[in-house]
Chains A and B, each alone.
Chain A
Amino acid sequence: MKKTDLPERRCSRRQARRHSALVRTARLVLPVFIVGIASTYVVMATPQTVDRTFANQFENLDMATEDMRLDKPRFVGEDAAGRTFELLAAAAKQSPDAPDLVALDNPEAFKDLGDQGREYIKALEGLYSAENKTVDLRNNVQIHQGIGSDDFELTTETGKIALEDRTFSSDVQVFGKSSQGTISAEGMTAYRDEDKVVFRNAHMRYNVSEETEETDSPEENDDTGNVPSDDGDSE
Chain B
Amino acid sequence: QFSQNSNAPIDITGAQFEAFQNEDYALWTGDVQVVQGEVILTAPQLKIYGIGGGRFNRVDATGGIRYTNGLEAISGDRAVYRKENETIVVTGNVVVVQGRQVMTGQQMTYYLDTGKIVFNKETKARVRGVFFTEDNAPSNSGPATEG
Contacts and interface: CB of A to CB of B under 8 A. Distances in A.
B69 interface: no
Contacts of B36: 208
Contacts of A180: 51, 53-54
B28 to A, nearest CB: 8
A152 B60 CA distance: 24
B68 interface: no
A146 B36 CA distance: 25
A49 interface: no
Interface stretch (A18-26, A38-46, A52-60, A226-234): A226-234
Contacts of B9: 181, 205-208
Most buried by A among B15, B25, B51: B51
Interface stretch (B84-92, B95-103, B136-144): B84-92
A208 B51 contact: no
Interface in A157-191: 179-181, 183, 185
A203 B69 CA distance: 21
A149 interface: yes
Contacts of A212: 52-53, 55
B12 A206 contact: yes
A210 interface: yes
Interface in B1-23: 1, 6-23
A15 interface: no
Interface string B75-90: 0001010111101010
A131 interface: no
B89 A228 contact: yes
B62 interface: yes
Nearest to B77: A224
Nearest to B8: A208
B57 A216 contact: yes
Nearest to B123: A232
Given A195-B21, A202-B14, A232-B122, A222 B60 contact: yes
B119 interface: yes
A147 interface: yes
Interface residues of B, number: 52
Nearest to A147: B19
Contacts of A222: 60, 78, 80
Given A147-B26, A199-B17, A208-B55, A218 B87 contact: no
A150 interface: yes
A149 B51 contact: yes
A209 to B, nearest CB: 4
A202 to B, nearest CB: 4
Interface in B45-80: 49-58, 60, 62, 78, 80
Contact of A198 (B18, B54, B84, B91): B18
A181 B51 CA distance: 11
A209 B58 contact: no
Interface of B: 1, 6-26, 28, 36, 49-58, 60, 62, 78, 80, 82-85, 87, 89, 91, 107, 109, 118-122
Given A206-B10, A229-B89, 13 more contacts: A149-B24, A185-B17, A194-B20, A195-B21, A206-B54, A207-B9, A208-B8, A208-B36, A215-B52, A217-B83, A222-B80, A229-B122, A233-B118
Interface of A: 116, 145-150, 179-181, 183, 185, 194-210, 212-213, 215-218, 222-224, 228-230, 232-235
